[in-house]
Structure 1
C-alpha cells in the first residue's frame, strides 16, 4: 500500500499502479503527475464522493477501483477515459449508473453491494463487456439491449429482485459463469431442495469442535482445520471418536457472488459424490451465531488446479508457466469434474463458478470440485429453462477442457484420444447454445474415452 506522503514527495514517479487508502475525502491532485505511466489506480477504502472533472488526464489508466467509498453514482467523467477497461465501485451507495459513465473499452464492471434499481439501455453498446458483477442491488430486470453484449462471459446478479431470467440471457453465445441466487426466481427451487435434505443433514454442536490452524479464506468465509469429537450412546467422554475435519465459518457480508447463506444451502443440498468435497453437517450453537459447515479434510497431496483470473486474463484462469499434464491425467480430471457437475445438475444446482481454481487435484488426476459461492438453484422439471441453464455451464467446462488440452504432453499413440477430447471440447463451446451436449452425455463420452 502506498502513502499520501510518498505520493507528495515525488518518490512514486513512474509507477504503473497506485494504491491509496487513507481516509481520503478529496481526490489528490498529485496523482496527475503519474499520468504518463499510471495504469492501475486503487482508491478503495476511503471516503470519496466524486472524482474531478479533469480525471481523464490519466490517459494511460486501464483499471480503477473505488470500492468502499461514498459514491452515490458512477462518475460520468469515466466515459472520457478511452483506455479504461475495468471499473470497480463495490460497496458504495450507488443508485445510478449514468450512460455517460460507460467507457468505450469497458470489459469488466463491478457494482456489487450498492442500491441500483435500474441499468441504462446503453449498457448494450458495451460490446467488449466480458464480466459484469451486480450482486447485492435492487434490480428487477436487465435492459433488453444487453442481448447485444455477445462477449459477456461472467454475470453476477445474486441478491437482487429478479422474478425471472430473460430468455435472451440464456442464449448469449459466450456466457459461462452465472450466479443468480437469493432472487425470487429461484426461491421455490431452493426451498424444495433444502426440504429434501433437511431430514438427513447433521447438526454438529460447536462445542464438539476444536479449531486449529487456518487453511485458507475467500470472499465468503474462513476455513480452519479442526478436531471433531463425536459421541453417541455407546461412547463416554473419554472414548469419544476424534476426527480431523475442515470447518468453514461464513462471513455475513454480500460477496461478488451473493450471500454466504446461499452457498451453504447449495453445499447442504448437493448430496454426496466422490468428486465433491464432502460435507458432514451444519454447525449449531456458535457463540456469535455464525453460520458454518463441517467438511471433509482434504489430503495435502491435492493442490489447486489453477489460480484465479488476473486483471489481464479477465475471465480465464492463470496456470503456472510450467504446468503440464499427461493425456491420462487430463482425462481423469475432466471425467471426474464432468461427473460431479452432472450430479449437481440432477439435483437442480448450477455451480456458477466452474473454474480450475475451484478444483483440487492430486498427481494421479483424482479431482474434487469445491466453492459453491456462486451456486444457484433451478427447477429440473422446468425442462426448457433447466437445460438452457445447464448448457451455460457446459461452456464453462469447454474453457476448462481447453486449458487442460493446451497443457497436455503426449506420445503419437495417444493422438486419437486427443482428437476425441478436442472434438468434445468444440461441441461444448458451440455458440449455438442449444447444440451443446448436456453433462450426462459429456460424462458418458469421457467415461468411454477412459475405458
Structure 2
C-alpha cells in the first residue's frame, strides 16, 4: 500500500521518467492521474486495479507504447471506448467491476488477451470478430445469453471461459462456429442454465462420504488457487485410524474459471483413478457454512510440471529453464496425462484446463492431474457437441505432448501419443 502511494508521489514529482511499468494498485484513486501521460513514450504496462475508478480519459491513446492495462476491482459500468484506439494495447483486464456495456469501439483488432470476468455483461459486440489475433478470452461470471456470430472469425483463439453466465441453450454457449475454431484448446462452460441441472443431478447421484468439520484439524497452508485454499490436515474419523489428508476450502465467490460449486461437482464425479487427484469426502458442518472437500495428501516428492502462463506467453505454460527429460520419463508423463483424460471423458467430464501446471509429477515420472475449476460435464443429449468438447481437451493434450517433446532427449518416444 505504502509503496504504491510513494510511486504516485514519485510520478507527480517527475521522478519516474523513462519508466516502462507503473503499479498504482490500492492507491485510493477516484480519477485517472493525468501525470501518467508524462510516460507516454515508454510506458508499456499500467496496473490501476483495486481503486475507485469509473472512467478513463478519452485521450488514453496518447499512451502509444502501452501494451498491458489492468483495471480490475474498480467501479466501471462501461468498458471505456478509448481502449479501442490505443495503438499498441493488446492485453486488457477489467475483472470484477460492474461492466454492463461493451461498446463496439472499445475492442481493438490488436487484442491478444481480454479479461472481463465477474461483471454484468449481457452481450458482446460484433466487433469481437475483428479481433483476429485474440488468443485468450475470459468472460466467466457475466450475463451473456449468446455469443456474436463473429466469434467464428477469431481463428487464433486458444482459451475461452464462458462459465456462470445466462446461456439457456447449449447452442447459444457453444455455437458451431466457436467449436470449429482450429486452435481452441481450453474451454470452460459450467454453471449455466442449460447445464446446471446436470451438475446438480451428477452431484446428487455420486456416492461420497460426508466428513464432519469437527473431525478435521487443519495444519499448514499448502497453496491457494483461484477458487480456494488447500491445507494439510489430520482427519480423526469417529471410526478408524487418524489420517493425514488435504482439505480444500472454497472461497464461495466467482473465480476466473467459474463457480466453486461447479468445480466441486466435477471433482466428485471424476471418481478414482491412478493419475487423478482423488476426493475422500465432502465437508459438512463448517462453522461458516463454507464448502469444501477432503482429498488425499500428495507426498512432497510430487512437484508441478510447469508454472502457469505468463503475461508474455499468454496461453503457454512456463517451464523451468534447462528442464530436460529422458525419453522414458517424458513418455511416462504423457501416458499418465492421456490416461487421466480418457478416464475423465469416460466419466462424462471435460477438464477444460488441461495444462502442465495442473499436473504433479514425481521423480519416477508418475503424473497426477488436478484442478477442476474449469471442468464441465459433457452434454448428455448432444453427441456432436460432446465429441467437440472431447476434441478440445485432446488438442490441449497435444500441446502438452509437444512441450514434452521439445524438452526430451528422444522426441520420437512420444510420437504415438500425439492425439
CA distance in 2, matches of 1:355, 1:13: 40
| Partner of residue 2, structure 1 | 4
Say which of 39, 54, 59 aligns to 1:34. Answer: 39
Whole-Å Cα distance in 1 between the matches of residues 179 and 321 of structure 2?
34
Q: Which residue of 2 aligns with 1:144?
A: 149
Q: Say whether 1:16 aligns with 2:26.
A: no
Alignment match, 1:221: 228
Contact 2:331 2:413 in 1 (8 A): no
| Partner Cα distance (2:341, 2:126) in 1 | 35
Aligned partner of 1:397 in structure 2 is 397
* Residue 116 of structure 1: aligned partner: 121
1:206 is matched with 213
Structure 2 distance, partners of 1:424, 1:400, is 10
Say whether the 8 Å CA contact 1:50–1:71 is kept in structure 2. Answer: yes
Corresponding position of 1:54: 59
**Normalising by the residue count of structure 1, what TM-score does the alignment of the two structures yield?**
0.89
Deviates more, 1:366-375 or 1:164-173: 164-173
Tell me, yes or no, if the aligned pair for 2:200 and 2:265 is still in contact at 8 Å: no
Residue of structure 2 equivalent to 1:421: 414
> How far 1:424 sits from its partner (Å)?
4.5
Q: 2:178 aligns with which of 159, 169, 176?
A: 169
* Kept in 2: contact 1:2–1:18 (CA 8 A): no
Quote the Cα distance in structure 2 between the aligned partners of 1:202 and 1:371: 20
Contact 1:277 1:369 in 2 (8 A): yes
- Which among 114, 125, 131 is matched to residue 126 of structure 1? 131
Residue 91 of structure 2 aligns with which residue? 86
Q: 1:231 aligns with which of 215, 238, 242?
A: 238
Q: Map 1:61-100; keep pairs closer than 5 Å.
A: 61-100=66-105
**Map of 2:367 onto structure 1:** 367
- The CA distance in 1 between the partners of 2:306 and 2:350, in whole Å, is 21
Q: Deviations over 1:196-217 (max 9, x none)?
A: 30xx200000010001110010
Answer yes or no: is the 8 Å Cα contact 1:349–1:376 preserved in 2: yes
How far apart in 1 are the matches of 2:108 and 2:202?
A: 41
User: Could you say what secondary structure the match of 2:236 adopts?
Assistant: strand
Answer yes or no: is the 8 Å Cα contact 2:334–2:417 preserved in 1.
no
Please say if residues 112 and 136 of structure 2, whose CA atoms lie closer than 8 Å, have aligned partners that are also in contact. Answer: yes
Which position in structure 1 is the counterpart of 2:199?
Answer: 190
Indicate the residue corresponding to 1:437 in structure 2: none
Matched residues in 2 for 1:74 and 1:62: separation? 17
> CA RMSD, aligned part only?
1.3
Q: Are 2:335 and 2:417, in contact at CA under 8 Å, matched by a contact in 1? A: no
Post-superposition CA distance 1:276-324 (Å, at most 9, x none): 1111001000000000111111111100000000010000000111111
- Name 1:300's counterpart in structure 2: 300
Distance 1:346 1:30 in 2: 57
For structure 1, the 5+ residue unaligned runs are 233-239, 411-417, 429-451
Separation in structure 1 between the aligned mates of residue 96 and residue 367 of structure 2, nearest angstrom: 35
Give the corresponding residue for 1:311. Answer: 311
Where does structure 2 lack aligned partners over 5 or more consecutive residues?
Answer: none
Q: Does 1:181 align with 2:185?
A: no
Shift, 1:380, TM fit: 4.8
- CA distance in 2 between counterparts of 1:174 and 1:46 reads 36
Deviation track 1:312-370 (CA, whole Å, cap 9, x = no partner) reads: 00000001111111111111111111111111111111111000000000111101000
Change in Cα spacing, 1:13 to 1:422, as seen in structure 2 (3 Å) is farther
3-state DSSP of counterpart to 1:408: coil
Aligned residues of 1:186 and 1:378 also touching (Cα < 8 A): no
Q: CA deviation at 1:194?
A: 1.8
Secondary structure of 1:364's aligned partner? coil
* Alpha-carbon distance in 2 for matches of 1:122, 1:58: 23
The range that moved more, 381-390 or 242-251, is: 381-390
Q: Which range moves more in the overlay, 98-107 or 153-162?
A: 98-107
Kindly indicate whether the alpha-carbon contact (under 8 Å) linking 1:189 and 1:378 is maintained by their aligned counterparts in 2: no
Question: Which region of structure 1 is more displaced relative to structure 2, 288-297 or 99-108?
Answer: 99-108
- Contact 2:4–2:27, Cα closer than 8 Å, also in 1: no
In 2, the alpha carbon distance for the partners of 1:396 and 1:253 equals: 27
Quote the Cα distance in structure 1 between the aligned partners of 2:15 and 2:110.
31
Tell me the TM-score normalized by structure 2.
0.95
